[in-house]
Amino acid sequence: MNILLLSVLILALFYPVKVFSQTGTDVNNLLTHLFTTRGYNKKIRPLTDQNTAVQIGLDFFLNAIIDFDEQDESLKTSGYLSFIWLDEYLTWNPADYNSTTEIFLPQDDIWKPDVAIRNAFKSFTGLGSSFLNVRVTSDGLVWWNPFQVLESTCAVDITYFPFDRQTCDLKFTAWSYSKDEVEINMGSRGVELEDYVENSAWELTGTSARETNTGEAAVFFTLKLKRKSGFYILNVIMPVVLLSILSVFTFVLPITSGERASYAVTVFLSLAVFLTIIAAELPKNSENTSVLAVYLMLISSWSTLIVVLCLIESRIAIRDEKECANQCFLYGLCKSD
């Protein structure tokens, strides 16, 4: 064992390994060769054969679900997209530039696809920013990772609020190019969640990705969301259920006590005041009706009916007492005669 270590040490001393380390001059010469000597033009699709489509791979790294607005039917997310494609005009021999195998270039200096989110909610903007760079390797592979806050439309179904589940799609397509010129394909990773931060109101239950290359080249990233219902159970459902139980116990009070009607009215007013608070929490959506909203309407109708019955009973009870008193008075007069 000692002999083996000694042999390795001797080889390292007398036969040093040559290490290639590119300098700034090497990179500068390479950039001059690509953009000046070759005359790189970012307006031309990066293929020598312009009759073929540029193949682009796309993955989505989700960072957070910022907001989900049921009324506006919009989803706001943050994350970055990972693009990869081949640029045949950005290739070189690493041996000519001291083994320079990759360089970084500003994203606006090279050709890149004008990919945008198709189902944008408010504004239509391009991806990335001028201060971002792309990574280019000697064989022409380009990696572009623009970070973005995305606002997309999402159809909302509040039927089972607050136990509802929502499915939202983020559709990305090359806006100016047809599928014969730029073909966007789903990457190998789809929706990546390694940097995802949980949302306080929504739970991400699943993700998927798919591509379509029939009418247009597009990639869909699907997010499946489930509402965290703990807040609504404690602050909406339980108080309403308890008030509905109290309204049933109205008929436990004897009619002779004279408190039944006032008790029913008090419960009704409590429910009415509470419903005004709940109305602010319910999603304002007219496309479909929430089961909870229907239940609240039934409880309100039931409480109103109880108040009406109690008032009618009080009136009948008072009338019966008067009739009984009159009969006793007439019976006393007849007996005295």
3-state secondary structure the chain: CHHHHHHHHHHHHHCCCCCCCCCHHHHHHHHHHHHHHCCCCCCCCCCCCCCCCEEEEEEEEEEEEEEEECCCCEEEEEEEEEEEEECCCCCCCHHHHCCCCEEEEEHHHCCCCCEEECCECCCCCCCCCCCCEEEEECCCEEEECCEEEEEEECCCCCCCCCCCEEEEEEEEEECCCCCCCEEEEEEEEEEECCCCECCCCEEEEEEEEEEEECCCEEEEEEEEEEECCHHHHHHHHHHHHHHHHHHHHHHHCCHHHCCHHHHHHHHHHHHHHHHHHHHHHCCCCCCCCCHHHHHHHHHHHHHHHHHHHHHHHHHHHHHHHHHHHHHHHHHHHHHHC
Domain ranges of the chain: 2-228, 231-336
Burial class (CB in 10 A: 0-12, 13-18, 19+), 309: middle
pLDDT at 225: 94
**pLDDT 10s digits, 84-133:** 999 999 999 999 898 889 999 999 899 998 888 888 887 777 787 778 89
Indicate the Cα dihedral angle 255, 258, 259, 265, nearest 10°: 90
Ranges of residues in the chain whose predicted pLDDT is under 50: 1-20, 324-333
Do 77 and 170 meet the contact criterion of CB atoms below 8 Å apart?
Answer: yes
pLDDT at 1: 43
Strands 54-69 and 182-192: parallel
Contacts (Cβ under 8 Å, ≥6 apart) of 267: 243, 246, 247, 250, 303, 306
pLDDT at 89: 93
Question: What is the C-alpha to C-alpha distance for residues 294 and 171, in angstroms, rounded to an integer?
Answer: 35
pLDDT at 140: 92
Do 244 and 299 meet the contact criterion of CB atoms below 8 Å apart?
Answer: yes
**pLDDT 10s digits, 4-37:** 433 433 334 343 433 345 788 889 999 999 999 8
Task: Look up the CATH architecture of domain 231-336.
Answer: Up-down Bundle (1.20)
pLDDT at 300: 83
Question: What is 2-228's CATH number, 2.70.170.10, 3.10.105.10, 2.40.10.340, 3.40.50.300?
Answer: 2.70.170.10
Q: Which residue has the tokens 């509402």?
A: 227
pLDDT at 285: 67
Strands 115-117 and 165-174: antiparallel
Cα angle for residues 17, 18, 22 (degrees, 5° grid):
145
